[in-house]
Chain A
Amino acid sequence: MSLDTITTPETAAPPGEPPPAGAPAEMLVSARGLARSFGTKRALQPLDFDIPAGRIVGVIGANGAGKSTLLNCLLGLIPHEGTLAVMGHDPATHRSAVMRDVCFIADVATLPRWARIGELLDWMEGLHPRFDRRRAEARINAAHLPRDRRIRTFSKGMVVQLHLALVLSIDARLLVLDEPTLGLDIVNRRGFYDAIIQEYFDPGRSVIVTTHQVDEIEPILTHVMFIRDGQLMLDASMDDIARRFVAVDIPDARRAEANALRLIYTRTVLGRTVGVFRDVPPERLETFGEPRRVGLADLFVALAQPDGAAAA
């Protein structure tokens, strides 16, 4: 599979302000030759990518593909090889400085279970220079979270509400989410991402998110990175993906005709065959049916196929 990197110039601006026209994008993350090994296993092949302000990037990959390793490197949780700058600092050696502008939620169960809300607020206020306690308290009050109980007594949904209240009260430039809604019901999952969009994201900030529930985050993503076996298969904007990859229903009688085009993947469901085409003008596909956007899940599976096997 060839590396498929498409980047789109972006502009950046302070939080809450629209980016000035033509202004160069401020790079929040920049990686060159970023790699990581565990013993003899190469978890991340050397990767090159940039994440400027104003993006919501979905990092998509199968289990063990290297998604969490990549995020752990970005967050300075593990050492890395190659050059990596997050907010201008190497996170492996300056994690503390990086975390002034970056916040992350690893999953729903990382808050200290023995603590109470008031204690967490005290510590956040004492440890994070960009934490806004009043904002956090307002959100906690709105969510009707009990202040007198230990977190271990909270439901998963309540823990997420609390964690969100803490994170969204930090004036950070980059938010990293690693399977943040694991184990949550659909209502809480939807509420989680809605809050991220409404209360955090703006053109001066970026979000990086990994999840297996690709369909749920697809509508909010501006960019996507596909990872397989530690390699970056695709780094593209959602607009570029929509332009380059198209899905069309293929009648059985016209299968050979479709194969002659750049058909990279087919899937037959309930007797209907859907084909995914790459870099084919829509007008050429309209003879099969109405071209439509390819879902990220389908696109990932399509690109993850071994070469030559996709449209077999």
Chain B
Amino acid sequence: MKPFLTLVRRDFADHRGALLWTPLVTAGVVAVLALLGLGSSASAIANGNGTISVERSPGDDAALALALSTQFTALVPVMVAGLVVIFLLAGALYEERKDRSILFWKSLPVGDHATAAARILTIVALGFAVALASALVLHAVVFIATAAVLNSIMPMLDVGKAALLAVSLWPAALVVVLVYVSWALPVYGWLLLVGASVLKAPLAAGLVPLIVLPLAAALSRLPAEPFLAPLSRLGGVAMFPEEGSVDQLVNMERAQMFGLDFVRETMALVVHAVTQPTWWIGLVVAGALVWGAGEVRRRRAP
């Protein structure tokens, strides 16, 4: 008997629609749209009714551009997962009170803190894992289709090299998602705690303070930065070092994006995180908030 694993399986089943089907459907929709777009463009070019403007970058640059652009398209399910996780966490310890199934779960010999921990682990870990897996498949589909179209009009493109680069980008993408989640964890914990506490509208109750407090601080001429920290973490801003590295990562025109520099920049995110006291404090706060959510679940009348 593995109670915690059973809790994870239960929570995944509870949120199967959001955790499994949402990324799969998103990937499917993106794939269809991308294929339709490519097919339309290819058809137009074949009929002499259109053109595709391709930056004639030499060799590796074109290959990496193909790998990166198709991966960016394929990451849509992961971005959607970021939103889904927020919704699910807000309701994770709320919906069971709303439908009164908490009385059934509490009739089993399972602790409230283990339940809270399983909820956040399932939603966050499996939410992003399934989304990443969907994105990987989507990337393969979009890459193959795009490469086939581009190869017909741009014979000098090294598709093999582009494929190798596309594959090599995924470990970096995994690291980026892990770093992002580690920064966002305290906000996730906060949403879980709010969901365990409020009588209604857990999502609004969790998010409104994160938005209103910075505004109120700005209006009252208080330093807004501390109040912006949760949004900064949730939006992924906090994970980037300050010295222009954000630009290096997101600016497609920068040569540093290509080749090993991308790996170096990804590792910079990890180094930046573990060297920031706020990152460690955030992890502790996240643990405390998850524990608090369990404690609220334990103490409040169902």
* A residues in contact (CB < 8 Å) with B: 72, 75-79, 95-100, 103-107, 109-115, 119, 122-129, 163, 167
Contact = CB atoms under 8 A, between A and B. Distances in A.
Contacts of A106: 100, 103-104, 107, 302
Contact of B108 (A77, A105, A119, A124): A124
B101 A112 contact: yes
Given A106-B103, A122-B9, A127 B14 contact: no
Given A78-B301, A126-B2, A104 B107 contact: yes
B6 A126 contact: yes
B108 A127 contact: yes
A77 B3 contact: no
A114 B96 CA distance: 11
B101 A127 contact: no
Contact of B110 (A115, A127, A163): A127
A127 B299 contact: no
Contacts of B3: 126-127
A113 B101 contact: yes
A129 B1 contact: yes
Contacts of B298: 95
B259 interface: no
> Interface range on chain B: under 10, 10 to 19, 20 to 34, or 35 or more?
20 to 34
A286 B159 CA distance: 106
Contacts of B112: 95
Contacts of A109: 100
Interface in B74-120: 96, 99-112
Given A97-B109, A106-B104, A127-B7, 15 more contacts: A78-B301, A96-B109, A96-B111, A98-B109, A99-B108, A106-B100, A107-B103, A110-B100, A111-B101, A112-B101, A112-B105, A124-B108, A126-B3, A127-B109, A128-B109
B10 interface: yes
A97 B2 CA distance: 16
B45 interface: no
Given A106-B100, A110-B100, A100 B109 contact: yes
Nearest 10 Cβ contacts at the A-B interface: A126-B6, A106-B103, A99-B109, A110-B103, A112-B101, A110-B104, A96-B111, A100-B109, A127-B108, A78-B301
Contacts of A167: 107
Given A113-B101, A114-B14, A122 B6 contact: yes
A171 B106 CA distance: 17
A154 to B, nearest CB: 14
Contacts of A75: 106-107
A117 to B, nearest CB: 13
A97 B110 CA distance: 8
B1 A119 contact: no
Given A72-B301, A112-B14, A126-B3, A77 B109 contact: no
